[in-house]
Each structure stands twice: as structure tokens, then as C-alpha cells.
Amino acid sequence: MVHSLLGRAAWVFGGLAAATTLAFAALVDRAPAPPQAAPAIREIPAEELFAQHCALCHEARAMTASLRAKPDREGTRRETVDFLRGHGEASGEEDVRIVDFLLGPKAR
């Protein structure tokens, strides 16, 4: 009889695992904190911004290597920031911080 029960038990176990996965997602993806409590973007480490907005599809080391390989660093910086404005969901300020993280800070 154990065998006929196992199939049903497997479905229940799989369903519970799926429900736990969704609960995990809902808990982790909690609503953003109220604006007054949110840290200013400049306070968030640039690495963290990259992880939030880019790391899902891009690897930091590869991106850095490819951007730094281009000869005109400031031109590359401008192009990349412009590109990021139309790509992804980060704000303009976040785009600049991410590019700084990848290319190094802007020359003064």
C-alpha cells in the first residue's frame, strides 16, 4: 500500500515545496521601506547596486574587462550611462554609480 500512497505524497511534498518557494519569494521581495527611511543612493555600495540591477544577467568582472578594454574611457563612460538610461530599471543616479563601479571613478 505504501507505493500507492507515495505518488500522492510526492505531489503533496512538491506542492508544499512550491508553496514554501513562493512564500520565500514574497518575504524576500518585501515592499521597499518608506522614502524617509530609505538610504540615499550614494550610501548604497556601488557593488550592491550592480547586484540589484545587473548581476541577474551580467557578470561584473567580464563587464569591467570589456569596458576598460576600450581606448576612450570618458567617451565609453558617457556612452554606457546613456545606454543604461534606456536599459534596465535603475535611476539615472544609480546608472552613474554602476558605471563608476565598472570603469573606476571619473577623472577630475
* CB neighbour list of residue 76: distance below 8 Å, 6 or more residues apart: 67, 70, 103
Q: Which of 34, 37, 40, 56 binds another protein (CB under 8 A)?
A: 56
Give the amino acid at 47. E
Query: How many binding residues for another protein (CB under 8 A)?
Result: 32
Q: How far apart are CA 24 and CA 18, in angstroms?
A: 10
Q: Which of 2, 37, 40, 107 binds another protein (CB under 8 A)?
A: 2
Q: Residue written as cell 522614502? A: 35
Q: Which of 36, 48, 100, 105 binds another protein (CB under 8 A)?
A: 48
- Residue 49: C-alpha distances to residues 8, 54, 56, 98 (Å): 44, 8, 12, 7
Site for another protein in 25-44 (CB under 8 A): 25-32, 44
Binding site for another protein (CB under 8 A): 1-4, 6-7, 10, 13-14, 17-18, 20-22, 24-32, 44, 48, 51-52, 55-57, 59, 62
